């Protein structure tokens, strides 16, 4: 790929006490990865050195003084490295959630988001973080997605997408108690979730996404005898989507809809609550899944697994999900860059 047309993708090291630093070291050691984008790594120098040591690799980088310099590089064969100072080694206990680590993650991500708002970065891919550590370190929201949305000024609908080998899922409710999930169901929220994942798949290169909607109750409500959400809310939402020109189908029983996906009949499933989709995807391929932060003005991706504190520092982390997250960030970043640079006819 011509270096002048590569998207600028920012990478972060994630929670300093987790497996993120070694994952990014393994990722950037791959020549096929380095060719996908104009990469800029944002992190503390000591943490980056530690990640390479744990992974058993050495990755040459090109120092930059600001994120604004990255797009101006004429030779992007080496990842750029923006050194920051967010956490000291003595503040990090490997395998444990701490306020210092959470504050470090917030600081780095905020800096990357500032760069997307300034048009200096086309996409962000972050290594695993820990919500508890981030809350100890100052996170004021239920999760990082809500922080991103507020920081970036999002007014419309947003939700996490989880992806696995071409299958994407979105959620009508996410990190809420299961007893509250039904209260989040509405025609408008289901329409928004389905529309968002449909458009996001198009941005990821799928011209005509095949999107289906899951039911909420056992056996799709059994004609109303086991709940009426399918009749009163979900089916009307699907009808409204069809009337708007989106060929979305459903609702289908949640315990069989993923069989259609497994057999290659679907590109995306709109689920009604967190575990309805997460259990299925993680069983299909825990070490390969990706989380995409849907509905934001810039693509942000991360591996779907967590910080794996139990194996941090041992050199055992599997890089597959991180590589998949980076690839999606690159594809969506290219679409973002094209949209930003296109000239109206």
Task: Determine the angle formed by the axes of helices 320-341 and 20-28, rounding to 10 degrees.
Answer: 70
What's residue 286's pLDDT?
Answer: 66
pLDDT category of residue 343 using cuts at 50, 70 and 90 = very low
Q: Which CATH superfamily is domain 160-288 in?
A: Isopropylmalate Dehydrogenase (3.40.718.10)
Q: How many residues does the structure list for the chain? A: 345
Task: Determine the angle formed by the axes of helices 235-243 and 187-203, rounding to 10 degrees.
Answer: 50
Q: Which CATH superfamily is domain 1-154+296-345 in?
A: Isopropylmalate Dehydrogenase (3.40.718.10)
pLDDT category of residue 345 using cuts at 50, 70 and 90 = very low
pLDDT in tens, 213-272: 999 999 999 999 999 999 999 999 999 999 999 999 999 999 899 999 889 999 999 999
Distances (CA, A) of 37 to 180, 189, 329: 41, 34, 9
* Alpha carbons 343 and 303: distance in angstroms, whole number: 34
- Residue range 79-107: average pLDDT? 97
Where, residue-wise, is CATH 3.40.718.10 in the chain?
1-154+296-345, 160-288
Mean of all residue pLDDT scores within the chain = 92
What's residue 344's pLDDT?
Answer: 54
What's residue 57's pLDDT?
Answer: 97
pLDDT in tens, 96-135: 999 999 999 999 999 999 999 999 999 999 999 999 999 9
Residue 330 has pLDDT above 60, yes or no: yes
What's residue 12's pLDDT?
Answer: 98
* Alpha carbons 39 and 82: distance in angstroms, whole number: 11
What's residue 309's pLDDT?
Answer: 97
What's residue 335's pLDDT?
Answer: 85
pLDDT category of residue 337 using cuts at 50, 70 and 90 = confident
> What number of other Cβ atoms are within 10 A of residue 225's Cβ?
9
Residue 340 has pLDDT above 80, yes or no: no
Nearest to 36 by CA among 2, 66, 69: 2
Per the CB < 8 A criterion, the answer to whether 219 and 253 are in contact is yes
pLDDT in tens, 8-24: 999 999 999 999 999 99
- Residue range 207-214: average pLDDT? 95
pLDDT category of residue 59 using cuts at 50, 70 and 90 = very high
Distances (CA, A) of 24 to 43, 114, 127, 142, 261: 11, 21, 7, 26, 30
Residue 172 has pLDDT above 90, yes or no: yes
Residue 203 has pLDDT above 90, yes or no: no
């Amino acid at each position: 790929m011509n270096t002048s047309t590569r998207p600028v993708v920012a990478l972060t090291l994630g929670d300093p006490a987790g497996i993120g630093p070694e994952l990014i070291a393994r990722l950037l050691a791959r020549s096929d990865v380095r060719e996908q984008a104009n990469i800029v790594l944002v992190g503390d120098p000591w943490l980056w050195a530690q990640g390479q040591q744990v992974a058993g690799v050495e990755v040459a980088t090109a120092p930059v003084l600001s994120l604004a310099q990255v797009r101006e590089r004429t030779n992007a064969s080496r990842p750029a490295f923006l050194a920051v100072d967010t956490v000291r080694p003595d503040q990090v206990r490997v395998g444990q959630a701490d306020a210092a680590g959470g504050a470090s993650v917030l600081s780095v991500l905020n800096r990357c988001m500032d760069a997307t708002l300034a048009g200096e970065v086309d996409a962000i891919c972050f290594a695993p973080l820990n919500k508890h550590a981030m809350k100890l370190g100052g996170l004021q929201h239920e999760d990082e997605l809500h922080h991103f949305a507020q920081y970036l000024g999002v007014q419309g609908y947003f939700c996490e997408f989880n992806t696995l080998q071409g299958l994407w899922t979105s959620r009508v409710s996410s990190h809420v108690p299961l007893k509250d999930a039904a209260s989040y169901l509405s025609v408008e929220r289901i329409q928004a979730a389905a529309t968002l994942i449909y458009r996001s798949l198009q941005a990821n290169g799928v011209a005509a996404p095949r999107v289906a909607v899951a039911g909420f109750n056992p056996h799709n409500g059994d004609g109303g005898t086991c709940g009426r959400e399918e009749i009163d809310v979900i089916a009307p939402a699907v009808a409204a989507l069809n009337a708007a020109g989106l060929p979305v189908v459903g609702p289908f029983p949640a315990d069989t809809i993923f069989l259609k996906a497994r057999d290659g009949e679907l590109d995306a499933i709109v689920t009604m609550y967190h575990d309805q989709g997460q259990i299925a995807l993680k069983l299909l391929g825990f070490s390969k899944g990706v989380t995409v932060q849907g509905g934001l003005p810039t693509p942000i991706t991360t591996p779907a697994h967590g910080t794996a504190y139990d194996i941090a520092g041992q050199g055992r982390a599997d890089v597959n999900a991180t590589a998949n997250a980076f690839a999606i960030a690159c594809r969506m970043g290219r679409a973002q860059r094209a949209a930003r640079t296109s000239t109206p006819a």
